[in-house]
């Protein structure tokens, strides 16, 4: 039973050589395989039948999961649900399987362990720069920094391209979500003074613009008691000369030009007189 515990601890799949090195014989493995308790996705590999299909695919085809598939596996923010597997070639000359997959070639910024099935998050982030829009890559990198998946100082020491180094310089850890990363980038492009996750009157707000205009982005939970609290906060801010523009996530996603027009009109009118 120790073999199954070991497999569970490493994601359900191992190279046969590593299994033998840990003391189990081929005879034992073959016996469990014939009984249906183990499978062989590819020569040189064994796995539990319930192993993640993505890992089985990587082993079967001699590739590794990378880019947005790795970002998602780390629980980081993704612009939209993944519909395709993102895979990377182990070397520049590696053959890649056909099918509806996003394939990546390139020199990794962090050396990979031999036979790894999942790429390093640092390599995945670098691939994401070419795979996503500038906004999307910015949001993903900020999510990785915010959640501690990577360290800024460590990233800065890697052989990044100028484009990736500029992206790292732009990233902050103040946005509370990928959507807020989008908005912060758009607001700064308008040459506005923006503070994300600012604290005013003891309350945290999404964005403080030009020191007197608040932009709040409401999710689906802003109903009932939460909506009452939001209304009280808006009133308190107004009494202190701070105007609030409150929009929904849907409005940011699908009607940003109208949201931007509201913000620029308010900024042009200036701070209300008290």
Residues 146 and 87 in one domain: yes
Instruction: Check pLDDT > 80 for residue 221.
Output: no
Would you state the pLDDT for residue 194?
A: 93
Answer yes or no: is 218 within a domain: yes
Is the sign of the CA dihedral 72, 77, 78, 83 positive or negative?
positive
Predicted TM-score (pTM) of the model is 0.84
Answer yes or no: is 252 within a domain: yes
Structure tokens at 209: 């613009």
Instruction: Check pLDDT > 80 for residue 158.
Output: yes
Residues 114 and 157 in one domain: yes
For tokens 């720069």, the residue is 129
Contact between 86 and 131 under an 8 Å Cβ cutoff? The reply is yes
Q: Give residue-wise pLDDT tens across range 33-66.
A: 999 999 999 999 999 999 999 999 999 999 999 9
Would you state the pLDDT for residue 233?
A: 94
Instruction: Check pLDDT > 80 for residue 186.
Output: yes
Instruction: Check pLDDT > 70 for residue 1.
Output: no
Q: Give residue-wise pLDDT tens across range 120-149.
A: 999 999 999 999 999 999 999 999 999 999
Would you state the pLDDT for residue 96?
A: 80
pLDDT (average), residues 234-258: 93
Q: What is the mean pLDDT of the chain?
A: 92
Residues 70 and 155 in one domain: yes
Instruction: Check pLDDT > 70 for residue 216.
Output: yes
Instruction: Count the domains in the chain.
Output: 3
Answer yes or no: is 265 within a domain: yes
Residues 103 and 141 in one domain: yes
Residues 137 and 87 in one domain: yes
Distance between CA atoms of residues 13 and 51, nearest Å: 7
Residues 95 and 140 in one domain: yes
pLDDT (average), residues 164-190: 89
Would you state the pLDDT for residue 220?
A: 64
Answer yes or no: is 249 within a domain: yes
Q: Which residue has the higher pLDDT, 241 or 179?
A: 241
Q: Give the confidence band of 119 by pLDDT, cuts at 50, 70, 90.
A: very high
Answer yes or no: is 274 within a domain: no
Instruction: Check pLDDT > 80 for residue 273.
Output: no
Answer yes or no: is 67 within a domain: yes
Q: For the chain, give me the number of helices (H) and strands (E)?
A: 13, 9
pLDDT (average), residues 167-171: 94
Instruction: Check pLDDT > 90 for residue 176.
Output: no
Would you state the pLDDT for residue 2?
A: 85
Residues 190 and 151 in one domain: no
Distance between CA atoms of residues 50 and 77, nearest Å: 26
Distance between CA atoms of residues 41 and 56, nearest Å: 6
Could you give the residue ranges of the DSSP H alpha helices within 35-133? 53-61, 67-73, 121-131
Structural domain containing residue 118:
61-170
Residues 67 and 165 in one domain: yes
Instruction: Check pLDDT > 80 for residue 94.
Output: no
Instruction: Check pLDDT > 70 for residue 223.
Output: no
Instruction: Check pLDDT > 70 for residue 222.
Output: no
Answer yes or no: is 140 within a domain: yes
CATH code at position 227: 3.40.960.10
Residues 199 and 144 in one domain: no
Answer yes or no: is 56 within a domain: no
pLDDT (average), residues 166-172: 93
Number of Cβ within a 10 Å radius of residue 91: 8
Instruction: Check pLDDT > 80 for residue 261.
Output: yes
């Amino acid at each position: 039973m120790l073999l199954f515990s070991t497999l569970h601890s490493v994601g359900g799949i191992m190279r046969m050589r590593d299994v033998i090195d840990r003391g189990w014989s081929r005879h034992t493995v073959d016996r469990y395989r014939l009984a249906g308790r183990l499978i062989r996705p590819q020569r040189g590999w064994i796995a539990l039948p319930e192993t993640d299909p993505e890992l089985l695919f990587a082993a079967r085809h001699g590739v590794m999961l990378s880019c947005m598939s790795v970002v998602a596996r780390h629980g980081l923010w993704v612009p939209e649900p993944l519909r395709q597997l993102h895979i990377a070639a182990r070397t520049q000359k590696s053959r890649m399987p056909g099918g509806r997959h996003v394939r990546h070639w390139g020199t990794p910024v962090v050396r990979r362990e031999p036979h790894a099935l999942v790429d390093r998050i640092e390599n995945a982030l670098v691939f994401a720069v070419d795979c996503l829009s500038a906004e999307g890559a910015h949001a993903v990198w900020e999510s990785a920094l915010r959640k501690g998946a990577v360290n800024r100082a460590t990233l800065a020491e890697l052989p990044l391209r100028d484009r990736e180094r500029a992206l790292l310089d732009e990233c902050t850890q103040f946005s509370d979500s990928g959507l807020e990363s989008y908005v912060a980038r758009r607001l700064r492009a308008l040459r506005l003074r923006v503070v994300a996750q600012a604290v005013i009157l003891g309350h945290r707000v999404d964005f403080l613009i030009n020191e007197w205009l608040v932009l709040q982005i409401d999710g689906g939970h802003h109903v009932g008691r939460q909506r009452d609290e939001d209304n009280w906060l808006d009133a308190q801010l107004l009494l202190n000369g701070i105007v609030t523009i409150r929009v929904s996530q849907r409005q940011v996603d699908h009607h940003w030009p109208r949201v931007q027009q509201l913000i620029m009109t308010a900024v042009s009118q200036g701070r209300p007189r008290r």
